[in-house]
Amino acid sequence: MAKEELESLPGVGVATVEKLQTAGYRTLMSIAVANQGELIDATGMTLAAVKKAIAAARAAVKMDFESADKYEERRKDIQKITTGSEAFDAMIGGGVETRAMTEAFGEYGSGKTQIGHILAVNLQKLANEKGPMYTVYIDTESTFRPDRIRQLAKGAGLDEEKVLKSIIVARAHNTDHQMLLAEKVEELITQKKINIKLLVVDSLTAHFRAEYIGRGTLADRQQKLNRHLRTLLKTAEAFNLCVYFTNQVMAKPDVLFGDPTQAIGGHIVAHASTYRIYLRKGRKGSRVAKLVDSPSHPEGECSFFLSATGLKDIK
């Protein structure tokens, strides 16, 4: 159907459709929101032809204003994946939600990767009610562990083999590979018809931090990171899925009092994230999660333990 929709655009033939799909433009919406220059580079079309195609796509998808009550109605299909902790879920409004980007940042050992594993397992609790659901796990630091998935699935009373088969894992070797894998999620959904509801990127900034060193490369790094985040957000909104990504931190040397910990990525990552959660180690082996930013919830904090079966509230 998508191919026929693209061919219906003025000046777009079979050969141009192939070029568009190769470049990642597979729907009318992707054309409607595309940059003119990017379409010219991808297809070789003239500026006039590109303008006509974009105008036709925008008319077809009806990119107009709508009343807030209709917008609210469209958001009723949002789903929430439980973290397994009642306090954590309450802090973020019932769980990690779809059509949103949730960032977890903190030092090593604070629980960022563990929560990614837990969400991938707990998604299957929703799947039991609503049919098969899948997780795409983009691993940039070789931290994904199938044995941990088995452990969590067993603790949740789920079929270990079924849970493992519901997770699609890819190891990203550099920033370009990482961005390519994120773009391929749309292909898995639209062409292979896989019902993906969770996309985990662990971690978002590791490769960017390693490849772009020094202040002279900062602008290029941020621009590329911004493109990557835009792809993730577009995917989350278009397919009603949850994006959960972990982020590394650094210590600000100019902070004399208080916590000097700061997330990597600056304002680019901060503005792209729907929910920002700061994880840190607590007392007696506990972990503390602080909701730093949210569009609809106040700042909050909760404590929990990481156990063999998942997150456990502190009674």
Q: How far is CA 8 from CA 16, 38, 74, 85, 302, in A?
A: 12, 20, 27, 49, 52
At residue 122, the 3 state secondary structure works out as helix
Give the residue among 193, 87, 202 at the shortest CA–CA distance from 138. Answer: 202
Higher pLDDT, 313 or 256: 313
48, burial (CB in 10 Å: exposed 0-12, middle 13-18, buried 19+): exposed
Distance CA 168, CA 28 (A): 27
What band does 260 get if pLDDT is binned at 50, 70 and 90?
A: confident
CB atoms within 10 A of CB 42: 18
User: H helices within 212-304, ranges in order?
Assistant: 218-238, 266-272
CB within 8 A of 144, min separation 6: which ones?
A: 117, 137, 169, 202
Q: Per residue in 134-177, pLDDT tens? A: 999 999 999 999 999 999 999 999 999 999 999 999 999 999 99
Residue 1 pLDDT > 60 = no
**The tokens of 100 are what?**
């949103």
Triad 280, 301, 231: Cα angle to 5°: 70
**What per-residue confidence (pLDDT) applies to 130?**
73
In this prediction, residue 74 has a pLDDT band, given cuts at 50, 70 and 90, of: confident
pLDDT of 154 reads: 96
Mean pLDDT of 68-94: 94
> pTM for the full model?
0.88
pLDDT of residue 3: 73
pLDDT band at 256 (very low <50, low <70, confident <90, very high): low
**Domains in the chain, please, with CATH?**
2-61 (1.10.150.20), 74-313 (3.40.50.300)
